Amino acid sequence: MSSHPVAETVASLIPRARAELAELVAFKSVADFDQYPRSESEGAANWVADALRAEGFTDVALLDTPDGTQSVYGFLPGPEGARTVLLYAHYDVQPPLDEAGWDTPPFELTERDGRWYGRGAADCKGGIIMHLLALRALKANGGVPVHIKVIAEGSEEQGTGGLERYAEEHPELLRADTIVIGDAGNFRVGLPTVTTTLRGMTLVRAQVDTLQGNLHSGQFGGAAPDALAALIRALDSLRAEDGSTTVDGLPGGAAWEGLQYDEEQFRKDAKVLDGVELIGSGTVADRIWARPAVTVLGIDCPPVVGATPSVQASARALISLRVPPGVDAAEATKLLQAHLEAHTPWGARVRTEQIGQGQAFRADTTSPAYRAMADAMAVAYPGERMQYAGQGGSIPLCNTLAALYPEAEILLIGLSEPEAQIHAVNESVSPGELERLSATEALFLLNYAG
């Protein structure tokens, strides 16, 4: 660890941070109240609110968001005329899934082999602790040099969008010059990483109709137009021979310019079976961060058990398209719909409908906030340089904030490196990463204020 006084303070605060994370992990704050009592989420929300009050935050409030959950908000005033930084994390967690698959109880923070295990330890209760540690370290070393807003969401893992809608209805509440989303992660332990892009996505449902009703495949098959066969043709046209996504008019050849994802490592992470090839072209990073990816999520057709010898009159599919950064999701949706309509054969009737959509995100890495973060990471991770990674999935709140505050700079960092196994059984956090990233965040706030 560097000898910067802020980093030394963070190191001295780690035992307290561990005790606090244990308290927070003990709440079963899964925001699905059919599965886990609401009181567990309320307990976690109150814990966060109390922690903010104890740090001198004013206006601490539990916000009732439209999805029936609560987000915790607080404001810590800084020096007159200072800039405002919003720190984001979420206190809700994924359900533990297979409890028997955990080596230690999911809601008891447990140390093993130098890591702390527990649901939410990394995603994202650790993120809340990271924000607290950074602020405490600054207070012990001359004070927090900016205005701080904290928002801790209560339903991120459910995707019910409560905070997004609340933020849209209260557009001033989360306004900030810079936003730090503490819900991402380093590319690997010890390699300081900012996530600079998120792919967007669109969901389209396609229905193909060819006949008034199903027909006997012996009597009519061979000439009767089969809706399922037509749908399969249309879906297959979304891929090239090597498996690359090919939607007419949609750019598919972009290159990723940040850090690279080793192909063997990817095979291991994705648990690809021996002898099976990866699909697509370009580097792995190109494919998962910079290029479109189509996935057929479901097909309505007769299941194998109970299937009869019939030519199908109708068939449906749900198609997801991950939209590369720099491409408008609405435009991608139109292109996908047009492609499906153009590639459905035999004059079969096809109807497409958009079910959902989220914009891609790309940060401005030339901004002052990125320089401040690069300098902070160089100190907190001696000998390393800040790396740029992408994320193949989306964070809808990120887009909401980017749309509400187009001038704000957004940085995604966090504790969810690959070993953390977020969303899986045996989730854990690296205490070393918690220490280095908390120091990073504190140093970032110092640099940014200066």
- Binding residues for Zn ion, rule: CB under 5 A, are 123-124, 183
CB burial class (10 A; 0-12, 13-18, 19+) of residue 154? buried
Q: Which is nearer to Zn ion, 218 or 393 (CB)?
A: 393
Contact 420, 185 (CB under 8 A): yes
Q: β-pairing, 70-76 with 147-153?
A: antiparallel
Instruction: Provide Rg for the chain, Cα atoms.
Output: 24
**What is the rounded distance in angstroms from the CA atom of residue 322 to the CA atom of residue 306?**
34
Q: Least distance (Å) from Zn ion to the CB of residue 154?
A: 12
Closer residue to Zn ion in complex, CB, 74/182:
182
The H or E element that residue 293 is part of is strand 293-300
Q: Which is nearer to Zn ion, 36 or 75 (CB)?
A: 36
Collapsing DSSP states into helix, strand and coil, what is residue 200?
Answer: strand
Helix residue ranges per DSSP H, 170-271: 227-236, 263-269
Q: Which of 40, 92, 417, 427 is catalytic?
A: 92
Euclidean distance between CA atoms 330 and 354, whole angstroms = 10
CA distance 58 to 74: 6
Contact between 250 and 327 under an 8 Å Cβ cutoff? The reply is yes
DSSP annotation string for 20-69 = HHHHHHHS---S-TTTS-HHHHHHHHHHHHHHHHHTT-EEEEEEE-TTS-
Contacting residues for 286 by C-beta, under 8 A, at least 6 apart: 254, 255, 256, 280
Task: Give me the catalytic one of 40, 123, 153, 156.
Answer: 156
CB of 23 to Zn ion, least distance (A): 19
Identify the burial level of 283 via C-beta atoms within 10 angstroms of its C-beta, where 0-12 means exposed, 13-18 middle and 19 or more buried: middle
Instruction: Examine the residue annotation and report whether 92 is marked as an active-site residue of this protein.
Output: yes
108 is catalytic: no
**Distance from CA of residue 442 to its chain's centroid?**
23
Show which residues are catalytic: 92, 156
